[in-house]
């Protein structure tokens, strides 16, 4: 139908623009976060774009339904404000005809969100977890940026490293300073190892990473104790990496959907319901956008945009609250009311009321007239 092609063409253009804008906002925020981690030496700058790329499906599955929802509000709102809808209604085309015209974009959006949410995003989460776990397993020296101090510590101690410059031709660090402090298990002050060397480079031996140092000094002792040992060396090896054969178990967010279906835990059930809820969210909100976009020509196309967005955010917010609540419960404590699908039932009832808003107003007016 010509009308449906007319609406869908405008809807496609608006959706692309809104999606690009929202993606730029969300990706730039995450990129700044990862860039700050790279600046402090927590992760390498080489993996920034890989992490962002793996997170793209997660961003899209959240942004795409909102983008199409906003696009329907803008397109239909403009048609209402330009009196195009009044012409269509005079020709016998009402809300049901508009909803039928949105079936194609609704099916495409539902398919894409379902594909990302059920299959692609868990794979991306697995890869992100793998990359970040590898970065956490790297030593501060492996992430060392010349000209800056870098520190990293845990419950066992703290290591600070500094290199004045990098000789790119020989791939060697120059004027290296390393301070390795180990906490004591009792009331003793612990031990401090300080190494200064003229140059050094990273080498690998038997699956471990070492820093090969040349022409330097080593100082070892306890803080506050004047009895320090000083050793001069021409060559030395400092272990800076650990074998990375042991991996942490994957988080629930990175598990495949088929595996979530058989896991008994409450967190697995919450994650599975969340993925299915993203799919159910799409047709529910796209249908709701049709009555929510209805404005009079005097009001303008943006008049009901804020209430519609509040309705959308309230829907998603309830799903997130239910997801968090369900994930924290024990499996034997979960009752019938602890279910994210109840939120969809409430949303479906609200959508039905919105579609029948005119009939509901007439019924309430008739009821008030009779009671008077």
- Render pLDDT for 27-38 as a digit per residue (tens, 0 to 9): 888 888 888 777
Same structural domain for residues 6 and 126?
A: yes
Strand-pair partners of 263? none
Same structural domain for residues 107 and 211?
A: no
CA distance 293 to 23: 24
Q: In this structure, are residues 274 and 340 in contact, taking their beta carbons and an 8 Å threshold? A: yes
Considering the domain boundaries, does residue 19 fall inside one? yes
Same structural domain for residues 8 and 127?
A: yes
- 81-90, 132-141, 142-151: segment of lowest average pLDDT: 132-141
Q: Which of 78, 83, 102, 6 is nearest to 293 (CA)?
A: 78
Kind plus residue range of the DSSP H or E element containing 327 = helix 305-327
149-168: pLDDT as tens digits: 777 666 677 778 788 887 77
Q: What is the pTM of this model?
A: 0.71
Same structural domain for residues 7 and 132?
A: yes
Highest-pLDDT range among 126-130, 202-206, 329-333: 126-130
295: CB partners within 8 A, 6+ apart: 77, 80, 81, 301, 303, 304
Per-residue model confidence (pLDDT) at position 245: 40
**CA atoms 119, 125, 131, 133: torsion sign:** negative
| Domain count along the chain | 2
Q: Say yes or no to pLDDT of 41 above 70.
A: no
Same structural domain for residues 186 and 216?
A: yes
Same structural domain for residues 8 and 122?
A: yes
pLDDT band at 315 (very low <50, low <70, confident <90, very high): very high
Which string of b and e fits 299-319 if b means at least 16 CB within 10 Å?
eebebbbeebeebbeebbebb
2-36: pLDDT as tens digits: 777 888 888 999 999 999 999 999 888 888 888 87
Considering the domain boundaries, does residue 269 fall inside one? yes
* Radius of gyration of the CA atoms of the chain, in A: 30
Same structural domain for residues 235 and 271?
A: no
Would you put residue 176 in left (φ > 0), alpha (ψ -120 to 50) or beta?
A: beta
Same structural domain for residues 209 and 318?
A: no
CA distance 161 to 238: 12
Structural domain including 333 reads 2-136+249-371
Highest-pLDDT range among 28-37, 200-209, 329-338: 28-37
CA distance 180 to 343: 54
Same structural domain for residues 128 and 15?
A: yes
């Amino acid at each position: 139908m010509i009308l449906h092609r007319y609406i869908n063409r405008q809807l496609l253009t608006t959706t692309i623009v809104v999606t690009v804008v929202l993606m730029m906002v969300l990706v730039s925020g995450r990129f700044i976060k990862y860039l700050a981690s790279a600046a402090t030496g927590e992760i390498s700058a080489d993996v920034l774009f890989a992490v962002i790329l793996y997170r793209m499906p997660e961003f899209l599955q959240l942004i795409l339904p909102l983008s199409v929802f906003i696009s329907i509000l803008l397109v239909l709102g403009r048609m209402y404000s330009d009196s195009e809808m009044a012409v269509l209604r005079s020709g016998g085309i009402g809300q049901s005809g508009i909803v039928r015209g949105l079936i194609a974009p609704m099916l495409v959006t539902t398919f894409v969100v379902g594909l990302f949410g059920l299959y692609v995003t868990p794979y991306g989460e697995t890869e992100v977890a793998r990359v970040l776990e590898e970065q956490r397993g790297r030593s501060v020296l492996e992430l060392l940026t010349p000209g800056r101090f870098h520190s990293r510590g845990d419950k066992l101690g703290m290591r600070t490293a500094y290199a004045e410059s990098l000789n790119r031709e020989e791939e060697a660090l120059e004027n290296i300073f390393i301070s390795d402090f180990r906490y004591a298990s009792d009331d003793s002050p612990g031990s401090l190892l300080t190494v200064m060397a003229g140059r050094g480079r990273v080498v690998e031996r038997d699956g471990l990473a070492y820093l090969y140092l040349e022409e330097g000094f080593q100082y070892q002792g306890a803080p506050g104790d004047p009895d320090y040992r000083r050793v001069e060396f021409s060559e030395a090896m400092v272990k800076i990496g650990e074998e990375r054969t042991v991996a942490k178990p994957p988080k629930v967010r990175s598990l495949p959907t088929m595996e979530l279906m058989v896991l008994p835990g409450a967190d697995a059930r919450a994650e599975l319901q969340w993925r299915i809820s993203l799919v159910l969210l799409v047709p529910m909100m796209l249908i709701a956008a049709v009555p929510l976009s209805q404005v009079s020509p005097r009001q303008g196309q943006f008049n009901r945009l804020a209430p519609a967005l509040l309705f959308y955010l309230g829907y998603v917010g309830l799903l997130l609250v239910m997801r968090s609540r369900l994930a924290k419960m024990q499996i034997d404590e979960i009752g019938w009311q602890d279910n994210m699908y109840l939120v969809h039932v409430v949303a479906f009832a609200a959508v039905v009321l919105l579609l029948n808003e005119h009939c509901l107003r007439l019924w309430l007016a008739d009821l008030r007239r009779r009671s008077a």
